[in-house]
Structure 1
Amino acid sequence: MNANAPDIRTITEDDYPSWVRALRAGFLKSGEITAEELSARRGGIEPDRTQGAFEDGRCVATFRTLPQRLTVPGGAAVDSLAVTNVSVLPTHRRRGLLTRMMRDALADGRERGDVCSTLDSAEYPIYGRYGYGPATWTTEWTVDASRTGLDPHWSRPEEEGARIDLVEPAEARVLGAALHERVRALPDRQGMTDRTERWWKLATGAVDWPGSGFVRTFTAVYRDAAGEVQGLLAYTADDHWENKAPRLNARVRDLIAADAAAEQALWHFVLSLDWVATVHSGRRAPDSLLPQLLPNPRAARVVSQADFLWLRPLDVPALLRTRAYPVSGTLVLELDDPMGIAGGHFLLDASPEGATCAPTARPADLVMGVGALSSMYLGDESASRLRELGLLAEERPGAAALADVLLRTARRPWSPDVF
C-alpha cells in the first residue's frame, strides 16, 4: 500500500463533523452544516460500524453499516450487514478506498455472524465486483385518475364493517410499526427489511433537521370489520391548478397491506381523492396488484423500472438453510467470490420440510459467481436465464431447471425502503 495513502479507520467523536462534510460533498449536497443536523444525524450512526478515509486530518471517503433483518422466502428473517453512506470525494476516486473499506466491513460482518450483506446501489456497475447482485426490482407508475374506471365518488371499503381513517403522525408511528412487523413476516414478503424506531421517527418528522428533505404526509389506515389495522397509506399532494380547475398530483410515499382487500381499498381511496388528477405510485413491486386492479389498467403508465436491493452472501450454508423451498431437490453449487469470503462447493438438500447445506467435495451441478446466487436467492432471477447470459454454467443437464423450481417464488421479491 502507498505510504501516502489515506488512513482508513473507524471514526471517533472528533472525526464526526469532517465525516458528515465528506458524506454531503460526496453526494453533491452543498450548504452550511448546522449543529442541529449534526446532532440529528449522530443519533443514527454507530461509530464502531462507521469508517472514514482520512488525509491530512480531513475525511475524504465515508462508509457505514447497520444491522438489518431481511425477510426471505417462507417468512423467516436473516441477519444482514446493510451497507450505506458510501461516498468518495471526486478528488480521491480510483485509489481503492471503497475496496479497502468494503473488505473490512464484510470481514467484520462475517465475524459478527451476519449471513449476507445488502445495499441500495446508486449506480449499477459498482458493486458486482464485490460479489453483490441485484436481488429485487422496483416499478413506479403514474395513474390518470380520470381513466381508471373506478367509482370517482367511492367513499368506503367494500368489506362490510371495514373503514379507512386518517391518523396523526404519532399514531401512525405506533400503528405503522406494528403492521409492518406483521406484514414483513408473511411467507411471500421476501425482500422486505425491518424498520427501526428511528426509521418511523424520520418518516413522520419526529426526527428532522433543515434540509433533510422531510415532507409531512397524510396517513390513512385501513381497518377490517374486527377493527384490526390491515393497511397503511402515506401520501402527499401538491397544489396544482390549470384554467381555474384543480389538477393535483398525489404521491404515494408508503403503502403497506397485509392482504389484497386492504391494498385494493387503499389504492381506490387515493385514486378517488377530490381534486387529484394524477397519482404517482412510488416504488412498488413489479408484480404489484396495480395496475390490474383497475377496471382500465391502461390508466397506469410505467415511468420507472429498475434494480433496487442488492445482496451478497457471507455464510452460504446458513443463507440457503433459512429460506423455504416448494419441492424436494439436491444441487451442488460451485461459487466464486471475488472477495474470498463465501466461495466454495456446497451441497444443498432442500424440501418443503426444510433444507440442509454444507461444504462438499462432490462435483458441481452449477458453477457461478456469488453475485449470480444473490440474484436468485430471493426468488426473482432464473438460473436458466443466467445460463443463457453466460453468468452461470450448467455442469449437470437439468440442474438449471431444477434450480428454477427450487428457488423461484410465486410472487416477486420486493424491498420498499431506502437505507
Structure 2
Amino acid sequence: MGQSDWDRWYGTLERAFGGLAESPEERELWNDLTECERSLGVWEGDACVGTAGAFSFRLSVPGGALVDAAGVTMVSVAATHRRRGLLTAMMRRQLDDVRARGEALAVLTASEPVIYGRFGYGTASWSLKASIDTTRVRLTVPAGTDEVRLRYVAPAEAAAACEAVYARVVPGRPGMLARRPGWERLPLLDPAQDRNGASPLQCVLAERSGEVVGYAHFAVKPEWDARGPEGTVLVRAVEALEPGAYAALWRFLFDIDLTSRIETLNRPVDDPLLHLASDVRRCGLVVRDSLHVRLVDVGAALEARTYQAPVDLVLDVEDGFCPWNEGRWRLTGDPKGASCKRADEASAPADLALSVRDLGAAYLGGVRLAELARAGRVRELRPGALAEASLAFGSAVAPWLPHGF
C-alpha cells in the first residue's frame, strides 16, 4: 500500500470497527507509525474492502532475548465482502511475507479471538482488569518504600525517563514489546474527546537517591454524590525497577484526595499489587486474553528462547496453514540456550504431538503444555515427556503485553 492510499485504507478499518472517527491526534499517530510497505489492501475499483498491516517489533521471550516479530494489526474486511476468502488471502500473503523477512514470530491482539486460531495463532498471554474500592482495600508495603521520593512531572517532560525505565523492564517479562522510535508517543496519546470527564493524562515519577526508578501514568475522574466525593483514578501504566518504588506508586494512587476507586484495564496476571492489597476480593478482578502468538519458523522460534529445565524431546508439529513447519522437530535446551532442528522421522520417534497453534500458546511460558494436554490439545507419545516439556516451557514471570497495537 502506498502512503497516498492511507486515508481511504484507514477509513475502511474505522468503518469495520463501528464507523466512529478517531481523534485527529490518534489518527496522526497511527498514520506516522503505519509501515506502508507491510500493509495490505484489497481493492474493488477505487473502493478499499479489506485491510491488514504489520509492525516490525522486537518481543521479549523467556530468557530475556528480544526476538524480531511481526505485529499483525489493522485487520478488517468490509461487511459487504465477507465470506469471500479475503481474510484468508490476506493472512496467507502476510505470513509468507513474514517468513521472507526472516521473522520467526507473528503476534496480534484479537477483536474476536475465535477468528485467528485457524491461522495458527494461540493465546499466549492474559491481562488483568481491576476495579478497586480504595475505601475498603489497604496496602501493606515492603521495607524501603518510605525512602522513595515521588513527584509530579508533565508527561511529555518525563517521557525520556519513563522510556528508560520501561526499556529496563522489558527483558525481565516475556511478551513485552521493545518500543522502537516513534512508539514512545503512544503512552502520551491523550485525546480530549476520549477522556469522558476525566482529567488530562498525569505522570508521577518515583526516585531513589536521585535516580528515576519508576513511574505512573494516570488520570482522575472527579465525581460527587450526596455522600461526597466519589472520584476514580484511571491508571494507564505503572512500572518500577524495584519493589519499594512499585509499592510507593500504588500507595500514592490509592491515596489521591477525593477518590474512592481505582480502575485499571491491563495489568499482568501475577501483578505484585495482588499481594500488597489487603482484600483481593474487593479488587474486582477480570481476566481476558491478550497476546496471540504464531510461530512462523518453528525451529528459529524455539531456539530464540531458553527453558526453565533441561529438555530433550521430539515434537510432532501439525501446521496446515504454513506447511514448512509441518513434521518433527528435535528440541534440546536449558536455561542457557537451545537448539531446534528438523528430526529424521524414520529414526526419531515423536515424544509429543501438537498443533502450531498450541505451540504458540505455550511459547511465552504462560500456558502450560500440561493444561493443553488436559484439554486434549497435546498428545503425550512417550511417558514422562509431557511433564518434562511442561516444566521446561514455563516461565517464572507471567507473560504480559503492556499496550496494544
- TM-score normalised by the shorter chain: which range applies? over 0.9
Is residue 241 of structure 1 aligned with residue 227 of structure 2?
A: no
Question: For 1:389-400, what aligned pairs fall within 5 Å after superposition?
Answer: 389-400=375-386
In the alignment, which residue of structure 2 is the partner of 1:126?
115
Structure 1 unaligned segments of length 5 or more: list them.
1-10
Name the TM-score, length of structure 2 as normaliser: 0.92
Q: Output the CA distance in 1 between the equivalents of 2:53 and 2:186.
A: 18
1:274-353 mapped onto 2 (5 Å cutoff): 274-302=257-285, 304-340=286-322, 341-353=324-336
1:198 maps to 2:187: no
1:378 equivalent in structure 2: 364
CA displacement, residues 339-397 of structure 1 (integer Å, 9 cap, x when unaligned): 12422211011123321111011111111110101111111112222112111111111
Contact 2:145–2:247 (8 Å) recurs in 1: no
Alignment pair present for 1:98 and 2:74: no
- Checking the alignment, whether the CA contact within 8 Å between 2:151 and 2:204 is kept in structure 1 is yes
- Equivalent residue for 1:4? none
Counterpart position of 2:352? 366
Contact 1:73-1:409 at 8 Å conserved across structures: yes
- Aligned equivalents of 1:158, 1:296: Cα separation in 2: 23
CA gap of 1:247–1:138, structure 2 versus 1, over 3 A, is same
Deviation at 1:39, TM superposition (A): 5.1
Larger helix share, 1 or 2: 2
2: CA distance, partners of 1:64 / 1:376: 25
- Counterpart selection for 2:374 from 379, 388, 391: 388
Aligned: 1:357 with 2:343: no
Distance 2:130 2:279 in 1: 14
**AA at the equivalent of 1:195:** R
Task: Please list every run of 5 or more consecutive structure 2 residues that lacks an aligned counterpart in the other structure.
Answer: none
Bigger drift between 103-112 and 211-220 goes to 211-220
What is the rounded CA distance, in whole Å, between the counterparts of 1:18 and 1:360 in structure 2?
Answer: 48
Identity of aligned residues (%): 34
Number of the residue aligned with 2:398: 412
Contact 1:222 1:262 in 2 (8 A): yes
Distance in 2 (CA, whole Å) between partners of 1:165 and 1:133 is 41
Q: Give 2:167's match in structure 1, choosing from 181, 187, 192.
A: 181
Q: Deviation of residue 283 (structure 1)?
A: 0.6
Normalised TM-score (structure 1): 0.89
2:41, 2:372 → 1: CA distance? 36
SS in 2 for 1:176: helix
Supply the distance in 2 between the matched residues of 1:213 and 1:18 (Cα, whole angstroms).
Answer: 27
> Which residue is equivalent to 1:56?
45
- TM superposition shift of 1:318: 1.6
Is the partner of 1:381 in helix, strand or coil?
Answer: coil
1:24 aligns with 2:6: no
Number of matched pairs: 399
Deviates more, 1:105-114 or 1:286-295: 286-295
Mapping 1:62-77, distance limit 5 Å: 62-77=51-66
Shift of 1:13: 3.5
The 3-state SS of whatever aligns with 2:113 is coil
5 Å-filtered alignment, 1:224-263, equals 224=208, 226-243=209-226, 245-263=228-246
- The letter for the 2-side match of 1:294 is A
- 1:148-171 per-position Cα deviation (integer Å, ceiling 9, x unaligned): 1349xx9x9944642111111222
Aligned counterpart for 1:44 among listed residues 14, 30, 33: 33
Determine helix, strand or coil for the equivalent of 1:203.
helix
Distance 1:138 1:266 in 2: 20
Root-mean-square deviation (Å): 2.3
Amino acid aligned to 1:132: Y
Q: Distance in 1 between matches of 2:22 and 2:319?
A: 42
CA distance in structure 1 between the partners assigned to 2:154 and 2:143 by the alignment: 21
Distance 1:213 1:344 in 2: 51
Deviations 1:176-223 (A, max 9, x none): 11111111022xx01111223422223324xx7786779731111111
One-letter amino acid matched to 1:289: P
Distance in 1 between residues matched to 2:111 and 2:22, nearest whole Å: 24
Given that 2:58 and 2:66 are in contact with CA atoms closer than 8 Å, whether structure 1 keeps it comes out as yes
Q: Secondary structure at the match of 1:86?
A: strand
CA distance in structure 1 between the partners assigned to 2:363 and 2:314 by the alignment = 15
2:386 match: secondary structure: helix
* Residue matched to 2:203: 219
Task: Provide the secondary structure at the position in 2 that maps to 1:146.
Answer: coil
Contact 2:192/2:200, CA 8 A, preserved across alignment: no
Contact 1:330–1:349 (CA under 8 A) maintained in structure 2: yes
Equivalent of 1:268, from 248, 251, 254?
251
**d(CA) in 2 for partners of 1:351, 1:150:** 38
2:387 pairs, out of 401, 407, 411, with 401
8 Å contact from structure 1 (residues 157, 164) kept in 2: no
Q: CA deviation at 1:409?
A: 1.6
Return closer, same or farther for 1:282/1:32 CA change in 2, 3 Å cut-off. Answer: closer
